[in-house]
Amino acid sequence: MTSAAFGTVLFAMLAGALRVSTPFLFVSLGECLTEKSGRINLGNEGALVLGAMAAYAISYETGNPWAGLLAAAGVGACLGLLHAALCSLTKVSDIAMGIAIMLAGTGTAFFFGKPYIQPSAPQLPTIPFGFWSSSAQIRSALDVSPLFFLGVIVGIAMAWGFRNTRLGLTIRIVGDSADSARAMGLRINLIRLGATAVGSALAGIGGAFLSLVYPGSWNEQLSSGQGLIAVALVVFARWNPLYCIGAALLFGAAGALGPSLQSVGISKGYYLFNAAPYVLTLVLMILSVRPGRSLKGAPGELSIVR
Amino acid sequence: MKAIGVEAVNVTKRFGAFTALDDVSLKVRPGTVHALLGENGAGKSTLVKCLLGYNLAEVGSFIVDGREAHITQPQDAGRLGIGMVYQHFTLVPSMTVAENLVMARPDVPRVINWSVERARLATFMAGMPFKIPLDVPVDSLAAGERQKAEILKQLYLERRLLVLDEPTSTLTPQESQEVLGLVRSLVQAGTITVIIITHKLKEVAAFADDVSVLRRGKMVGGGAVAALSATDLTTLMIGEKHAPAIIERLGAPGATPRLAVHNLATLGDHGRPGLNIDAIVVHPREIVGIAGVSGNGQTALLEVLGGQRFATSGTIAIADKPYHARRDEAFALKVRVLPEEPLRNGCVPSMSVEDNASLRRFDRNDDGSPRRWLDRKRMSARAKTMIAAYGIRTPSKDVPIAALSGGNVQRAILARELDGAVDVFIVANPCFGLDVKAVADIRARIVAARNGGAAVLLISEDLDEIRELSDRILVMRDGAIVFEAPAGADAQMIGSHMVGHG
């Protein structure tokens, strides 16, 4: 590979990171919020897929992609509410329930999404940061969705909120010590319900990005497990929203590896390189979870930690 | 004077058919320390829970600061200025002390202005007789500091009557002195009235003005501490004249090491250091006590010895044979373990008492050869023998062991572990939370095992227990053995090594 080609690959990965990372970012922030309140929601994969389908369908039916975005957040929140409500019953495992919600979400999306695979829906606008360049390649690479910036802002706001607001600290109390929360008279289930619903709504917005920005279409292979990778990403990010942003970018870059190499003519092992995010997930999980040591920074009430 | 008095009048509380409190009356004078004494299950906690609004008494009333009070939920008690410091800490572990204090207030603003809050906290701290670092997460504080932070939180909330539930159960002697001394000075300054729940007579004598004794839900006596002797109080508490006998250690320890641990190291948890032990050696017919403040590596040591945790380096040898805490090794070398919280670490809670009693041997014949079919008859006979010999109170041998009380689970696991010949016996906090009679029983069994020739490693957070039972005492701090003392060594000296001022 020449140095020019190498530069192209790096640039393509950078641009790809901005693009591919956005769904990771939203789902991981949503999952981070939910887990901070002491519950795991594997159902966010379902919220992602259902959100993608709802966003596409509503955008197509109304002609307004922003309405589609709202719809995605709405269906995400509904799935989150369902998950939280069922988990607040005694002896319900949030892991098992999350898997059920995941299957319910994807199944519903496939059922209602069949008629929308063919037609093309209006897409969300992007910000053309590449206006200065004459190269069409660079211009398209630097078309960044406002959703990416929204995700970064949400991440920073969450990090700030967990330290500086009553609501943020309340969520941390509920997630770290249910005993303390009970002693303080906090309504644990209600707070977890809210955190799970909002977290799931964020996952739904991640789905809207998939169908309305990049790749920008609706089909049943759209997510390919990104919602589940995001759960691992939260562990890797040590439940810190700021680290979630960094981790999402890293995974985005890994996801862009295959297409980037293809852009300079290396198509051998395309599918292997496309597996990069999954391999990265495995490697990071192995590195961050060692036997004989418990997870640092994990909220104390999580069922995997207790 | 800010301190307030409180009075309980003819309080009765039932849980189903069980009467937890039977017509109990109590008067706490403002500006005093009032000790509430009694064995486990005597009703002390139930009484204060009624006062705090966690339980609702069926009959009777509370008079707070001269007025009848209607306390139906914890917030009501808070408004009246009554607060409680629990035995189990209620500060949120991952949050800093400052975050905990601010969030405890009932009127936290939506957005917290930390510069304003900090100034407020600084003013408040300036008026306190002790200091706590505000910006460290609570889980990195030592137990004594945590206890002080709990008290600090109540003072920050401007409570005028504090209930302390066994405040010194997890503290070293020095820390206990410090915390109780602090409480005493706050009471003398007229800031607060204190009700202290305890079963330590020494503390009652040293720090309380008045005492009330509960037994099986009834108020059996009390009065000014100065007018009552320790014997009077014990008699009131247990209801019998005799204190449980202490079994003596008989015979000198053997000369060749039975259990030898060398250069043992593990990874740490939550940023705390892991184990780093140079040597622990226990001889036959010897009890070696490991003293230490909770959270200094005792649990990790027990987990390594019990096979629940990997060591990154180091050797464990039983009578010169290498030991990796595998089940077959434990069987061959006769190593037995009574872990802390046996319901969690030492048995299968949903299985019957009988099944749990046979966990060590259900798949072997007496000669150690493997068995494929369970010998139900022998398992049943074994369970019956154990229940009778150890006085395990259970409806039958077939109920799940989780249905038994803490003391009886402890007895059952002890019976299983001491069944047959025992060469090495590893015990952790065997008497935590048990009543006086169960404590005496279990300690007698441990000493009997030692007298029978076993090498006993006793890991305990109760320094009195260590001093009472051990032939030799090791002090553990930050995962390392930092000090060795002979039997009967001075508690203050051991305590100073436990906290690291030695």
Residue A174 pLDDT exceeds 60? yes
Cα distances (Å, whole numbers) of residue B283 to B113, B253, B261: 60, 6, 12
The answer to whether residue B1 is domain-embedded is no
SS3 A43: coil
Same domain, B324 and B221: no
Domain annotation covers residue A267 = yes
A67 within domain boundaries:
yes
Return the residue in B48, B76, B86, B94 with the most chain A beta carbons within 10 A, the one to mutate for interface testing.
B94
The tally of domains found in chain B comes to 2
CA B232 to chain centroid: 25
| CATH code: domain of residue B278 | 3.40.50.300
Q: Where are the alpha helices (DSSP H) in A165-221?
A: 166-176, 178-183, 188-212
**Distance to chain B for A164, nearest Cα, Å:** 5
Q: B241 vs A86, which has greater pLDDT?
A: A86
ipTM of the complex: 0.85
A174-178, A245-249, B294-298: range with lowest mean pLDDT: B294-298
Q: What is the pTM of this model?
A: 0.77
**What is the number of helices (H) and of strands (E) in chain B?**
17, 20
Best interface-test mutation with B: which of A91, A163, A184, A290 has the largest number of B CBs within 10 A?
Answer: A184
Is B310 in the A-facing interface, judged by CB distances under 8 Å? yes
Q: How far apart are the first and last CA of chain A?
A: 50
Q: pLDDT for A40-62, tens place per residue? A: 999 999 999 999 999 999 999 99
Nearest-by-Cβ selection for A180 from B74, B92, B267: B92
Backbone angles phi, psi at B45, to 5 degrees: -65, -40
- Give a yes or no: residue B414 inside a domain: yes
- Contacts of residue B66, defined as CB under 8 A and 6 or more positions apart, other chains included, come to B5
Same domain, B133 and B62: yes
> Is A126 a member of any domain?
no
Q: A230 lies in which domain range?
A: 3-116+147-288
- Among A165, A293, A300, whose Cβ lies nearest the Cβ of B94? A300
- Pair B361, B310 in one domain: yes
Question: Does any domain span residue A153?
Answer: yes
Are the beta carbons of B109 and A299 separated by less than 8 Å?
no
Residue B250 lies in a domain: no
Are residues B204 and B328 both part of a single domain? no
**Of B174, B204, B238, which residue is a domain's last?**
B238
Question: Is A99 within a domain?
Answer: yes
Cα separation, B269 vs A238, in Å, equals 15
Chain B CB contacts of A164 under 8 Å are 111-112, 114
Residue of B nearest to A161 (CA): B111
Q: Which of A91, A173, A295, A302 to mutate to test the interface with B (most CBs of B within 10 A)?
A: A173
Same domain, B54 and B181: yes
Chain B CA closest to residue A173: B92
Q: What is the DSSP letter of B242?
A: S
Q: Is B344 on the interface with A (CB under 8 A)?
A: no
The parent domain of residue B200 ranges over 6-238
Give the mutation candidate from A293, A294, A301, A302 for the B interface (greatest B CB count, under 10 A).
A293
The answer to whether position A68 is within a domain reads yes
Domain end point (choices B184, B206, B238): B238
- Whether residue B81 contacts residue B160, with contact meaning beta carbons closer than 8 Å, is answered with yes
Same domain for B212 and B313, yes or no, is no
Is residue B247 one of the residues assigned to a domain? no
Distinct helix (H) and strand (E) counts, chain A: 14, 2
Q: Say yes or no to pLDDT of A30 above 70.
A: yes
Cα separation, B282 vs B254, whole angstroms: 9
Cα(B372)–Cα(B366) distance, rounded to whole angstroms?
14
The confidence score (pLDDT) of residue B245 equals 60
Q: Going edge to edge, which strands form the sheet with B82-85?
A: B82-85, B161-165, B193-198, B33-37, B210-215, B218-224
- Under DSSP, the state recorded for B111 is B
* B112/A300 touch (CB, cutoff 8 Å), yes or no: no
Contact B103 A184 (CB under 8 A): yes
What residue spans of B396-485 are helical by DSSP H?
A: 406-417, 436-451, 463-469
Among B206, B238, B270, identify where a domain stops. B238
Collect all residues with Cβ–Cβ distance below 8 Å to B110 and sequence separation of at least 6.
A165, A166, A167
Tell me, yes or no, whether B273 and B209 share the same domain.
no
Task: Tell me which chain A residues have a C-beta less than 8 angstroms from the C-beta of B74.
Answer: 183, 185
Residue B482 domain-assigned (yes or no) = yes
- Tell me whether residue A303 is in a domain: no
Pairwise pLDDT comparison (B435 vs A255), residue with the higher score: A255
Which parts of chain B sit beneath pLDDT 70? 1, 40, 170, 239-246, 269-272, 433, 501-502
The structural domain count of chain A equals: 1
Residues B367 and B486 in one domain: yes
| B163 belongs to a structural domain | yes
B88 touches chain A (CB under 8 A): yes
Q: Do B103 and A165 touch (CB under 8 A)?
A: no
Give strand ranges (E) for B112-215.
161-165, 193-198, 210-215
| Residue A305, pLDDT score | 65
Hey, what amino acid is at B77? A
Rg (CA), chain A: 19
pLDDT band at A70 (very low <50, low <70, confident <90, very high): very high
A172·B269 Cβ contact <8 A: no
- HEC profile for B344-399? HHCCCCCCEHHHHHCCCCCCECCCCCECCCCCHHHHHHHHHHHHHHCCCCCCCCCC
Residues of A with CB below 8 A from B96's CB? none
CA B145 from chain centre, in angstroms, equals 17
Is residue A147 scored above 70 in pLDDT? yes
Residues B224 and B302 both lie in one domain? no
B252: in domain: no
Identify whether A265 is part of a domain.
yes
Inter-chain touch B269–A169, beta carbons under 8 Å: no
CA atoms of B340 and B301, how far apart (whole Å):
12
Domain shared by B276 and B182, yes or no: no
Q: Taking CB atoms and an 8 Å limit, are B310 and A165 in contact across chains?
A: no
User: Which chain A residues contact residue B109 at CB under 8 A?
Assistant: 166
For residue A18, the model assigns a pLDDT of 86
Residues B74, B211 within the same domain: yes
Query: Where residue A60 sits, what CATH number does that domain have?
Result: 1.10.3470
Residue B452: per-residue pLDDT: 93
Q: Are B280 and B217 within one domain?
A: no
